[in-house]
């Protein structure tokens, strides 16, 4: 199971890591119409749409080589590199588009996420603000802006952005991010409230389950925490942070029980 793309917050020690994931709807296999022969940009777009990102990169690299001034080719190549986890390469090509001051909120959104991954929070903030200005009604951009403020330690501003989103729509990932913020600031009661709401909205979100376990453990509600960590692992068997938290907690519970005898 994968975890949604939005997010990117982390806490030290046994605290939860907010990992990203993208959920896709089940559907019949998609077959793209053939692209014009000899058009690497069109071919690259089709490979990208079919999630064949390696082949997309090959075609789009050829498109950029043939026409270095083709901004659309740079944008698509940046997106394809991002899908392959090639952060520096993605930034290089998306910056070409940003330098043209294009009214493309998705370019600035992805640049913000990429800068955030590299810890370049000032650049991430500038791009997130630019994306939000271009698409003010996009709630996911409000969540992204809140995450960037969180990483900068500007917690009041982060809460403000999250609250703006929640006034429009109650979203599980925003509740999760608020929960992490309150864990960071030591307000366990608010963290518990937000994370309970997050799992109520999306019961199959392994990240939120893990984070709920973290705050329950902080409140010494160990068996409840154990149940949340276990459920997170059940929902996503590859979720290493949840596995670590579960195993560490179980060792601690066992030691406590032995000391009581």
Residues paired with residue 17 on neighbouring β-strands, in sequence order = 10
Report pLDDT for 35: 52
Residues paired with residue 10 on neighbouring β-strands, in sequence order = 17
Sign of CA dihedral 214, 24, 170, 154: positive
Mean pLDDT of 183-194: 96
Report pLDDT for 159: 97
At 33, is the pLDDT very low, low, confident or very high (cuts 50, 70, 90)?
low
Name the least confident of 26-40, 58-72, 122-136, 143-157. Answer: 26-40
HEC sequence for 104-161: CHHHHHHHHHHHHHCCCHHHHHHHHHHHHHHCCCCHHHHHHHHHHHHHCCCHHHHHHH
pLDDT tens digits, one per residue of 61-116: 999 999 999 999 999 999 999 999 999 999 999 999 999 988 999 999 999 999 99
Q: What is the number of alpha carbons within 13 Å of residue 32 lying toward its C-beta?
A: 14
**pTM, full prediction:** 0.76
Contacts for 62 with CB less than 8 Å, ≥ 6 apart: 40
In CATH, what is the architecture of 171-261?
Alpha Horseshoe (1.25)
Quick one: residue 102, left, alpha or beta (phi over 0 = left, psi -120 to 50 = alpha)? Answer: beta
Q: Is the pLDDT of residue 17 over 70?
A: no
Q: Read off the tokens for 149.
A: 């403020």
Mean pLDDT of 32-58: 87
Q: Read off the tokens for 197.
A: 């709401």
Question: How many H-runs (helices) and E-runs (strands) does the chain carry?
Answer: 13, 0
Select from 93, 98, 95 the least CA-distant residue to 76.
Answer: 93
Select from 25, 21, 12 the least CA-distant residue to 208.
Answer: 21
Q: Could you give the CA distance from residue 79 to residue 215 in angstroms, rounded to a whole number? A: 36
Q: Which residue has the higher pLDDT, 256 or 32?
A: 256
Q: Could you give the CA distance from residue 200 to residue 206 in angstroms, rounded to a whole number? A: 12
Mean pLDDT of 162-185: 96
Q: Could you give the CA distance from residue 64 to residue 30 in angstroms, rounded to a whole number? A: 27
**Is residue 6 within 8 Å of residue 23, measured between CB atoms?**
no
Q: What is the dihedral of CA 37, 40, 41, 42, to 10 degrees?
A: 30
How many Cβ atoms are within 10 Å of 234's Cβ, its own excluded?
12
3-state secondary structure of 15: coil
Residue position matching structure tokens 């066992």: 254
């Amino acid at each position: 199971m994968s975890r949604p793309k939005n997010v990117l917050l982390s806490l030290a020690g046994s605290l939860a890591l907010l990992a990203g994931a993208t959920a896709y709807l089940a559907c019949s296999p998609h077959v793209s119409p053939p692209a014009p022969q000899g058009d690497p940009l069109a071919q690259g777009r089709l490979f990208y749409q079919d999630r064949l990102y390696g082949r997309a990169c090959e075609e789009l690299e050829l498109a950029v080589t043939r026409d270095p001034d083709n901004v659309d080719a740079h944008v698509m190549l940046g997106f394809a590199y991002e899908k392959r986890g090639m952060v520096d390469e993605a930034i290089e090509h998306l910056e070409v588009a940003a330098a043209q001051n294009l009214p493309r909120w998705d370019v600035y959104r992805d640049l913000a996420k990429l800068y955030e991954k590299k810890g370049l929070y000032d650049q991430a903030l500038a791009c997130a603000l630019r994306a939000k200005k271009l698409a003010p009604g996009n709630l996911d951009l409000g969540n992204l802006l809140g995450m960037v403020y969180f990483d900068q330690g500007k917690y009041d501003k982060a809460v403000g952005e999250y609250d703006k989103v929640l006034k429009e729509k109650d979203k599980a990932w925003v509740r999760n991010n608020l929960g992490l913020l309150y864990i960071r600031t030591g307000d366990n009661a608010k963290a518990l409230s937000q994370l309970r709401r997050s799992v109520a909205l999306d019961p199959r979100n392994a990240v939120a389950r893990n984070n709920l376990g973290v705050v329950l453990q902080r409140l010494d509600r160990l068996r409840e925490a154990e149940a949340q960590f276990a459920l997170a692992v059940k929902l996503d068997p590859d979720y290493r942070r949840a596995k670590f938290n579960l195993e560490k907690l179980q060792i601690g519970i066992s030691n406590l029980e032995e000391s009581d005898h």
